[in-house]
Structure 1
Amino acid sequence: MPTAVLIGAGPGLGLAMARRFGRGGYKIALVSRNPDRHNDALRELAGRGIEAAAFAADVRDTVGLGAALDEVEQKFGDVDFVYYGPSPHNMTEARKPIDQIAASDVEAAMALVHPAADVVARTLPGMLERKRGAFLFTSAISAVLPVPELGAMTVPAAAARGYAVTLNAALAKQGLFSGVLLIGGLINGSDIHAAMSSSGQSDEAYLLDPDRIADTAWDLVAKHESPEALILPGRRGLGLTVLLITRLLRVIKRSGRSHSPR
């Protein structure tokens, strides 16, 4: 039975990914700074017949993250799939406009992106040896569409997408996969959703269903047809969807590219 490691697994998309990949036959390793918060999730997964365990690691702690991955392998064996989706801790804080940021702002924003390379370096050799494996990262729609309001957060979004799709270009010829989910809304049930709701900043029209995103993630990993998927709100967020796609088409037209967004 293959093993899926979900890094930064929270109560929204992380748990939905655990359900979907567990249903697909994977053993699930939930990795986050506080594994005790996963007790309810572990009970739910066990009730569904999914073998799962929680492990402690802050992705910004290189040694601790490596130790957690060692623990995963000791318990479950080889790692076959890695989902890397830690969320920023300051998403609800006021952000500087893009034309007011400095290097220190970008450095702070990039703190959750750099460890992704460590995770790949730690798990990829075994995948190459076994000739199977996949990585999936999360990013924001600002990776492909200018959203000045996000300030420095636009930099790690673009970096994460660029890393994921370029890694896929290197791995595809070897039968492995790397992809990215470009999130264009607020994931229902996530930590960020909870924080924004408590502060009165949440707009329910922009909510995304984590289970539907997890289904998209499963298709990306299973089919290898595209290294990325753009996730936008459904009917309730139709206005936002039209606005975002219109902006994106304008950007593509100005850049001279001929392809249309998926």
Structure 2
Amino acid sequence: MSTAHSTKYSAIVVGAGPGLGFALARRFGRELGEVALIARSADRLVPLVRELQELGIAAHALTADAADLDGLRGTIERAVAVMPPLKALIYNAAAIQPARPLALAPKVLAAELVVDVAAPLAAAQAVAPALEANGGGSVLFTGGGFALYPNPEMAALSAGKAALRNLTATLAQDLAPKNIDVAIVTICGYLAEEGRFAPDTVAKAYWDRHAAPADAERPFELTYA
């Protein structure tokens, strides 16, 4: 669903839920004008899109399972096709299933790595041509402190965030010549209703990175602590 709205640019948020995902959609939608929210559940997206519309932000709700790489790519391509020129992709999805290493089935680990690592790559590959054609933009991934401080109770997520961090470092080198800034926001803390880890405050850090001038120092990792 979408609103008819004259805008200049757009953003896509993969993994749009009621917390940080919605805050990111609201921030980038307000700044750029239009935003597509992608999640597995259409029912989950409906109230979020309605709230964005009430704020005057043109919004689209699209469903895709990040575990289905071809489906995710197709959904992203459809979003790009119906919106104004794309300027930002934010990948905020993750597979979160607590388990210690000895209790972690290898097949479960492999499945989680699809969502945590392969899907962000697929999403970045899907938007790279559009971002380059539009004069550049940003690809931002949601990282986590487990990449730096692995937690044995969250063995799969710790591995996934570490792998995503390294993937970001290499992908940034590939896309920099195309004027596409790639960064991972490593959130070292837990989201809260107020303070530094309130979703809106964290979302501002993503926007500030996106809006940073091209000649600014932009390392591949933004540590948010």
TM-score of the aligned structures, taking structure 2 as reference length: 0.84
Alignment partners' CA distance in 2, 1:39 and 1:231:
30
User: Counterpart amino acid of 2:140?
Assistant: L
Q: Aligned match of 1:213 in 202, 209, 216?
A: 202
Asked if residue 73 in structure 1 is aligned to residue 73 in structure 2, the reply is no
What is the 5 A alignment of 1:181-260? 181-188=185-192, 208-223=197-212, 225-232=218-225
Instruction: Give the superposition deviation at 1:127.
Output: 1.9
Which 5+ residue runs of structure 1 have no aligned equivalent?
190-203, 233-262
Which residue number in structure 1 is paired with residue 143 of structure 2?
Answer: 139
Specify the structure having the higher radius of gyration (Cα): 1
What is the 5 A alignment of 1:44-63? 44-63=51-70
Q: How many residues align?
A: 213
Q: Tell me if the contact between 1:135 and 1:179 (Cα under 8 Å) persists in the aligned partners.
A: yes
Which residue number in structure 2 is paired with residue 156 of structure 1?
Answer: 160
Q: Tell me if the contact between 1:138 and 1:160 (Cα under 8 Å) persists in the aligned partners.
A: no
Q: Aligned match of 1:109 in 102, 108, 112?
A: 112
Which 5+ residue runs of structure 2 have no aligned equivalent?
1-7
Q: Tell me if the contact between 2:85 and 2:134 (Cα under 8 Å) persists in the aligned partners.
A: no
Percent identity of the aligned residues?
Answer: 30
Alignment partners' CA distance in 2, 1:115 and 1:104:
17
List structure 1 runs of 4+ shifted beyond 6 angstroms: none
Alignment partners' CA distance in 1, 2:151 and 2:135:
39
Which residue number in structure 1 is paired with residue 183 of structure 2?
Answer: 179
The structure carrying a bigger helix percent of its residues is: 1
TM-score of the aligned structures, taking structure 1 as reference length: 0.73
Alignment partners' CA distance in 1, 2:70 and 2:108:
25
Q: Tell me if the contact between 2:131 and 2:137 (Cα under 8 Å) persists in the aligned partners.
A: yes
Q: Tell me if the contact between 1:12 and 1:188 (Cα under 8 Å) persists in the aligned partners.
A: no
Alignment partners' CA distance in 2, 1:75 and 1:130:
15
Q: CA RMSD in A?
A: 2.4
Alignment partners' CA distance in 1, 2:158 and 2:71:
27
CA 39–104 in structure 1, closer or farther in 2 if over 3 Å, else same: closer
User: Counterpart amino acid of 1:182?
Assistant: T
Q: Aligned match of 2:49 in 42, 66, 81?
A: 42
| 3-state DSSP of counterpart to 1:186 | coil
Instruction: Give the superposition deviation at 1:163.
Output: 1.2
Asked if residue 24 in structure 1 is aligned to residue 17 in structure 2, the reply is no
Instruction: Give the superposition deviation at 1:105.
Output: 4.6
Alignment partners' CA distance in 2, 1:63 and 1:108:
15
Q: Tell me if the contact between 1:220 and 1:228 (Cα under 8 Å) persists in the aligned partners.
A: no
| 3-state DSSP of counterpart to 1:163 | helix
Q: Which moved more, 1:125-134 or 1:42-51?
A: 125-134
Which residue number in structure 1 is paired with residue 133 of structure 2?
Answer: 129
Instruction: Give the superposition deviation at 1:17.
Output: 0.4
Alignment partners' CA distance in 2, 1:51 and 1:63:
26
Asked if residue 118 in structure 1 is aligned to residue 107 in structure 2, the reply is no
Alignment partners' CA distance in 2, 1:18 and 1:148:
32
Alignment partners' CA distance in 1, 2:112 and 2:63:
22
